[in-house]
């Protein structure tokens, strides 16, 4: 019971409802308010969860490697060290070198910044477009809704990876930001659909109804009432989209479909794998394992973030044990169907 109480307490303290009624507020006030409501409080709540905490730490490490690490550590180039060094043999190339004398660690580190840019651009593109289309469709209804929903449905039914591959061959994108967008070219569609149904639900809430009768313009309602309500959900999906970008981009680089002008762990995998076949043995295993760990650890951080945030912000997932003891809650939980996203 004690546990339950503190649980509902924090839940109440953390509310995404943007019910600020004061009309006259300065921009600084509004910014401060925004920070408190949408960054500080949810951040505090999210930090409580072990998964989110570990996930955030992992992401922090990658950001550090991608910025300061890449700035401090030397860039990879052929014959910068003796060839085919094993890991931990010299301090010069702690994780060994490739057959052409490239420092494996340098390769991993210098692929990170581009990966982070890809994640960021892909995540922003996917969630941004999804929020835009989902909210407009859900809020406007009528023909707008039908057109946008059909559009999302169609995009959703086109398999992502083959589409990306075909587009990548035709477009040959070179910049990491463009690649991020290309990979999420139809990833947003499923998310837009679920956001639409959530907007439909939120729309029924009285306060949105109230703003509508008070003659507030549609974009304003979307911006002030509806989107803030979905922020947690969007963040969870941002992390999911980011993981998808990591998996897909490395896969594409591994296949050699994308131009090799950008350093990527997938290229390392490809090189090491073809050598492994030629040498028929585990001799080059370390060249495979190092980029693999880089990929998996990043994916792990993103999954932990998504799962943790989902647990914290989504009352549906919250456990039975931490939940209420029956009689006290009179909530009419119209459970939305779970959509499985891979």
Q: Can residue 285 be called a binding residue for other proteins (CB under 8 A)?
A: yes
Could you give the CA distance from residue 136 to residue 154 in angstroms, rounded to a whole number? 18
CB 298, min distance to other proteins, A: 8
The number of residues in the chain equals 342
Shorter beta-carbon distance to other proteins: residue 7 or 33: 7
The Cβ of residue 87 has, within 10 Å, a number of other Cβ atoms equal to: 17
- Pick from 153, 209, 210, 217 the residue near other proteins by CB under 8 A: 153
Closer CB to other proteins, residue 127 or residue 287? Answer: 287
Q: Which stretch binds other proteins (CB under 8 A): 101-109, 128-136, 231-239, 271-279?
A: 271-279
> What is the 3-class SS of 259-279, one letter each residue?
CCCCCCHHHHHHHHHHHHHHH
Nearest to 20 by CA among 9, 7, 32: 32
In angstroms, give the least distance from the CB of 160 to other proteins: 6
- Whether the CB-CB separation of 291 and 269 falls below 8 Å is answered with yes
Footprint on residues 300-319 left by other proteins (CB under 8 A): 300, 302-304, 307, 316-317, 319
Angle between helix 285-313 and helix 50-64 axes, rounded to 10 deg: 140
Does residue 12 interact with other proteins by CB under 8 A? no
Residues 6+ apart with CB under 8 A from 306: 55, 236, 237, 239, 240, 243
Q: Which two tokens stand for residue 220?
A: 């304003």
Question: Under the criterion CB under 8 A, does residue 260 sit at the interface with other proteins?
Answer: no
Question: Binders of other proteins among 47-76, rule CB under 8 A?
Answer: 51
* Interaction site with other proteins (CB under 8 A): 1-5, 51, 150, 153-154, 157-163, 165-167, 169-170, 197, 246-247, 250-251, 254-257, 269, 273, 276-277, 280-282, 285, 288, 292, 295-297, 299-300, 302-304, 307, 316-317, 319-321, 323, 325-328, 330, 335, 337-340, 342
């Amino acid at each position: 019971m004690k546990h339950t109480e503190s649980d509902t307490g924090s839940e109440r303290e953390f509310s995404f409802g943007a019910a600020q009624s004061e009309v006259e507020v300065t921009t600084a006030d509004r910014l401060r308010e925004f920070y408190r409501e949408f960054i500080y409080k949810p951040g505090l709540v999210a930090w409580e969860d072990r998964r989110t905490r570990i996930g955030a730490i992992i992401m922090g490490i990658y950001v550090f490697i991608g910025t300061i690490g890449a700035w401090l550590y030397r860039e990879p180039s052929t014959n910068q060290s003796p060839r085919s060094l094993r890991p931990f043999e010299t301090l010069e190339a702690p994780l060994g070198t490739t057959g052409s004398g490239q420092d494996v660690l340098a390769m991993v580190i210098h692929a990170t910044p581009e990966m982070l840019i890809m994640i960021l651009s892909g995540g922003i593109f996917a969630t941004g477009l999804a929020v835009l289309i989902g909210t407009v469709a859900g809020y406007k209804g009528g023909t707008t809704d039908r057109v946008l929903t059909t559009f999302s449905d169609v995009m959703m039914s086109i398999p992502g990876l083959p589409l990306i591959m075909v587009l990548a061959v035709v477009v040959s994108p070179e910049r990491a930001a463009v690649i991020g967008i290309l990979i999420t070219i139809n990833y947003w569609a499923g998310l837009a659909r679920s956001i639409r149904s959530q907007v439909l639900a939120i729309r029924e809430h009285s306060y949105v109804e109230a703003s509508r009768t008070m003659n507030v313009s549609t974009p304003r309602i979307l911006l002030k009432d509806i989107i803030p309500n979905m922020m947690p959900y969007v963040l969870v999906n941002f992390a999911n989209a980011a993981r998808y970008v990591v998996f897909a981009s490395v896969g594409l680089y591994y296949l050699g479909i994308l131009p090799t002008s950008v350093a990527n762990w997938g290229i390392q995998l490809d090189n090491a794998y073809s050598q492994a076949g030629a040498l028929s043995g585990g001799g080059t295993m370390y060249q495979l394992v190092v980029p693999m760990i880089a990929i998996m650890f990043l994916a792990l951080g993103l999954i932990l973030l998504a799962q943790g945030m989902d647990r914290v912000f989504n009352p549906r997932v919250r456990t039975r044990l931490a939940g209420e003891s029956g009689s006290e809650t009179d909530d009419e939980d119209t459970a939305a169907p779970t959509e499985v996203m891979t």
